[in-house]
């Protein structure tokens, strides 16, 4: 069992974020659990790399003095597995919002899907989703989106190191992607649909690696809380 001094001096903890939780929810839960266990007023806790509430998987959490080094982990390569559906789009580029457009898919073949995937390897430009936590004038973009307000977005350079199509079942595509910091996979999926002369939106996303850290070594949140107790 760790002592409070261990958490203050700095611990790196791996968690498997469940669906429906924000990354901030996980940080709050871990901070609250440590404070309750050791009866302390405060303990620094931060995460390296945000996951959307509808995404699951690896979240790197740092405590105490280790939070000063958190940027090092934020800058490491990240690996995800996921699914997207071809033929329809949503305003958020995923399942957070309802389908707003339908597109033709008769021309789409497995060969075309694999061919298009090669166009997304390397350094590319992408626009972040309007439904995101990126701030504009101190306000998260999703708040503008939910209010129906238009915001001029700036593109950003990201790098895709590997993008493999792992399964194709009609219009349901499974993939694995290794990419740089700042990559919005749902934006990439939206662009993928456009490249197919159709549309696409993300239906499932799970982060499985950050640098050398793997999901196999991650705590379930409840297991960590019980371990503290």
Q: Which CATH number is 130's domain given?
A: 3.30.2350.10
Looking at the structure, tell me whether residues 84 and 66 fall in a common domain.
no
Looking at the structure, tell me whether residues 162 and 196 fall in a common domain.
yes
Looking at the structure, tell me whether residues 111 and 144 fall in a common domain.
yes
Q: What is the DSSP string of 121-178?
A: SEEEEEPPPSSSS-EETTEEHHHHHHTT---PPPPEEEEEEEEEEEEEETTEEEEEEE
Q: DSSP state, 219?
A: B
pLDDT at 160: 98
Q: What is the pTM of this model?
A: 0.93
Phi, psi of 175 (to 5 degrees): -150, 165
Looking at the structure, tell me whether residues 85 and 181 fall in a common domain.
yes
Looking at the structure, tell me whether residues 137 and 216 fall in a common domain.
no
Kindly list the catalytic residues.
52
Q: Quick one: pLDDT band at residue 49, thresholds 50, 70, 90?
A: confident
Looking at the structure, tell me whether residues 26 and 96 fall in a common domain.
no
pLDDT at 151: 75
pLDDT at 187: 97
Looking at the structure, tell me whether residues 67 and 95 fall in a common domain.
no
Count of structural domains, the chain? 2
Looking at the structure, tell me whether residues 62 and 116 fall in a common domain.
no
Position 39 pLDDT exceeds 70: yes
Looking at the structure, tell me whether residues 26 and 14 fall in a common domain.
yes
Looking at the structure, tell me whether residues 163 and 84 fall in a common domain.
yes
For residue 188, the enclosing domain spans 78-209
pLDDT at 129: 85
Mean pLDDT within 128-135? 74
Axis-axis angle for helices 185-195, 110-117 (nearest 10): 130
How many Å apart are CA 212 and CA 1, to the nearest integer?
Answer: 25
Alpha helix (H) residue ranges in the chain:
4-9, 23-38, 70-74, 110-117, 141-146, 185-195, 221-228
Looking at the structure, tell me whether residues 62 and 18 fall in a common domain.
yes
Looking at the structure, tell me whether residues 204 and 224 fall in a common domain.
no
């Amino acid at each position: 069992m760790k002592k409070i001094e261990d958490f203050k001096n700095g611990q790196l903890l791996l968690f498997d974020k469940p669906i429906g939780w924000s990354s901030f929810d996980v940080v709050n839960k871990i901070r609250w659990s440590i404070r309750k266990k050791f009866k302390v007023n405060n303990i620094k806790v931060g995460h390296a790399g945000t996951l959307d509430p509808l995404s699951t998987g690896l979240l790197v959490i740092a405590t105490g003095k280790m939070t000063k080094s958190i940027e090092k982990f934020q800058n490491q390569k990240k690996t995800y597995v996921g699914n997207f559906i071809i033929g329809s789009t949503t305003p958020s580029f995923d399942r957070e919002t309802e389908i707003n457009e339908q597109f033709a898919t008769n021309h789409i073949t497995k060969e075309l899907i694999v061919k298009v995937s090669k166009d997304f390897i390397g350094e590319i430009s992408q626009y972040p989703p309007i439904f995101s936590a990126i701030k504009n004038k101190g306000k998260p973009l999703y708040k503008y989106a939910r209010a129906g307000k238009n915001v001029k977005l700036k593109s950003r350079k990201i790098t895709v190191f590997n993008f493999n199509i792992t399964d194709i079942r009609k219009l349901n595509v499974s993939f694995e992607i290794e990419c740089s910091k700042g990559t919005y996979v749902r934006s990439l999926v939206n662009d993928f649909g456009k490249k197919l002369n159709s549309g696409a939106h993300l239906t499932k996303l799970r982060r499985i690696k950050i640098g050398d850290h793997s999901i196999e070594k991650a705590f379930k949140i409840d297991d960590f809380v019980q371990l503290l107790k």
